[in-house]
Amino acid sequence: PSLSFGPDVTLSLPRACVHLGLRSRLYSARLFLPCISSRYLSVRRMSTYSFSPSSRVASFGPTVWHEFSPLAAKYQAVNLGQGFPNFDAEAFVLEAAHKAIDSNLNQYTRSGGHPRLVNALSNFYSPLFGRTISPMEEIVTTVGASECLYALITACLSPGDEIILIEPFFDIYIGAVIMAGAIPKYVTLQPPATGSTTTQSSGEWKLDMDQLQSALSPRTRMLILNNPHNPTGKVFTRKELEEIAFIVRTHPHCTVVSDEVYEWMVYDDNKHERFATLPDMWERTLTVGSAGKTFSVTGWKIGWAIGPKNIIQAIMNAHQYIPFSVSTPMQEAIAVAFELAQERNYFKWLKDMYQKKRDKLLKSLTEAGLTPVVPQGSYFIFANTRAIKLTGTEGQEKTITGMGMHLRDWNICRWLTTEIGVAAIPPSSFYSEKHASLPAEYARFCFCKTDEVLDEAHKRLAKIPQTKNYAPPETDKTVA
């Protein structure tokens, strides 16, 4: 039994009090409460605590992944949205991980990078960079490329510094920039002038060098270059990289971050050029790599940066206060994977495997009445969706987060997910808010999936021309 004396005081009575008839004598809480043992009295005070997130994260909210991954699961769609392989890594990579754990490599390792891994990276990349890379001073390993980007932005940028981001860009960049208090300046890749029924190459998307030159200022401290590029699949030519290098060379305080996580996914006759190998660029360039992309183990979260000693040391200084060190057995396994990859011709196999998957999805998208942009690299395909017409609230009513309701690419991708059964990602999530309408006619699909998944996507995409929403535009007069 208990008695309540207002919202903040509750009196719990022992049954003995009830049996003795004490309840009938409770004329006043003031008279009676001093006689009651404190163990029967509980006081609930109104909380005075109030929480507000820091200014660094106050602007953050749900991302595109909070919309489309749950939406794909809810409607049992084939998920060609989020870019991670759904197949096993090669056996020699998995065996290396099992052996590392069985060898009791389960404690902290060196903060700057597990010795065997940084040595393996040095041995592997030194010939590719045309120089001897110091494993202990010019390489740092991180919790995936994502932490690498966060650590290097934290280490290199101060509040008020400016950073150049090339749109569209991997959405994780902007979060690290905001948390560093830096100011993003945007330069946009321009699609070709060909129409929506003309197949394009991602190489036709061009960076306006005059726009880039105008965006840099004495306050610019960093430029992030993603090559091969996510989400367009563009592979920058050496000439394009030399033009970028010519511009940044006139800005002595500008560090270049060359995000090369898709370095081994370059197709046809295209060639991956390393920005750090251009004249005078090593001293200002950080090259970011990813074991998740290279060996199809995104959940292992092993990344790295390669660059000059002074910048790598600054990243190490930040990194030691973020995770301190990275998973020891997984670093050991990636070291072994690099040691064995060349003799197994792994990187050619990886390229050929992904090129076949690319071609398979290109065929599916084309037959579905969409117009894909043929990627030179990465494992993503941009597709023009102008042939799909939505009316009223189509593409809006089944939203989970309420995000992007005013943007065509979001509504198209929701419609594809819920009505066709194939999930794609709206590219506007890779643009600044000011430029969010630029990719309105595109959707991003990934092909890092098993052939069975891609075959099922083919069947579902084939339904598009049969819907009332399909209205192919007239053949464009512009010829590529």
Residues 352-403 pLDDT 10s: 999 999 999 999 999 999 999 999 999 999 999 999 999 999 999 999 999 9
Report residue 124 as tokens.
Answer: 């592997």
- Helix orientation angle between 172-180 and 144-156, rounded to the nearest 10 degrees: 30
Residue 212 host element (H or E):
helix 209-215
Q: What secondary structure does DSSP assign to 305-333, as a single string?
A: EE--HHHHHHHHHHHTTTTSS--HHHHHH
Q: Rg of the chain over CA atoms, in angstroms?
A: 28
The tokens for 367 are: 């037959």
Q: Which residue do the tokens 């995770």 mark?
A: 323
For 80-92, the pLDDT digits (tens) are 998 999 999 999 9
By the 10 Å C-beta count (0-12 exposed, 13-18 middle, 19+ buried), 353 is classed as: middle
**Residue recorded with tokens 């998957």:** 357
Strand 78-79 to 422-423 pairing: parallel
Instruction: Read off the pLDDT of each residue in 185-213 and give the average, rounded to a whole number.
Output: 89
Report yes or no: 93 and 325 within 8 Å, Cβ to Cβ.
no
Q: What is the pLDDT of residue 198?
A: 73
pTM for the model stands at 0.89
Helices 91-102, 328-341: axis angle to 10 degrees equals 140
The pair phi, psi for residue 460, each rounded to 5°, is -75, -40
Residue pointed to by tokens 């880039």: 212
Structure-model confidence comparison of residues 21 and 79, the more confident one: 79
Give the rounded percent of residues in the chain with a pLDDT score beyond 70.
Answer: 88
pLDDT (tens digit per residue) in 125-168 = 999 999 999 999 999 999 999 999 999 999 999 999 999 999 99
Our CA angle for 134, 140, 142, nearest 5°, is 160
Pick the closest to residue 187 from 157, 165, 220 (CA basis).
165
d(CA 256, CA 5) in angstroms, rounded, equals 67
> Taking CA 245 as the corner, what is the angle to CA 241 and CA 246, rounded to the nearest 5 degrees?
120
Cα angle, residue 186 at apex, residues 413 and 152 outer, rounded to 5°? 95
* Average pLDDT of the segment spanning 209-232: 98
Q: What is the pLDDT of residue 225?
A: 98
CB atoms within 10 A of CB 10: 15
Residue 142 burial by Cβ neighbours in a 10 Å radius (0-12, 13-18, 19+): buried
**C-beta of residue 286 within 8 angstroms of C-beta of residue 313:** no
Cβ pair 195, 251 in contact under 8 A: no
Residue type, 5: F
The HSE-up count of residue 59 (CA atoms within 13 Å, CB side) is 10
Residue 415 in tokens: 């419609």
Task: Identify residue 111 by its one-letter amino acid code.
Answer: S
* pLDDT in the model for residue 401: 96
* Alpha carbon distance 182, 162 (integer Å): 6
| 97-116 confidence digits (pLDDT tens) | 999 999 999 999 999 999 99
**pLDDT, tens digit, 9 for 90 and up, residues 23-68:** 444 444 444 445 455 555 555 677 899 999 999 999 999 999 999 9
Return the pLDDT at 41.
52
Give the pLDDT confidence score for residue 195 in this predicted structure: 57
Interval 35-47: pLDDT, tens = 455 555 555 677 8
CA distance 257 to 176: 13
- β partners of residue 258: 225, 287
Q: Which residues pair with 349 in a beta bridge?
A: none
pLDDT at site 472: 86
State the average pLDDT over residues 174-187.
97
**CA separation for the pair 143, 343 (Å, rounded):** 27
| Strands 206-207 vs 183-190: parallel, antiparallel or unpaired | antiparallel
Phi, then psi, of 255 in degrees rounded to 5: -85, 140
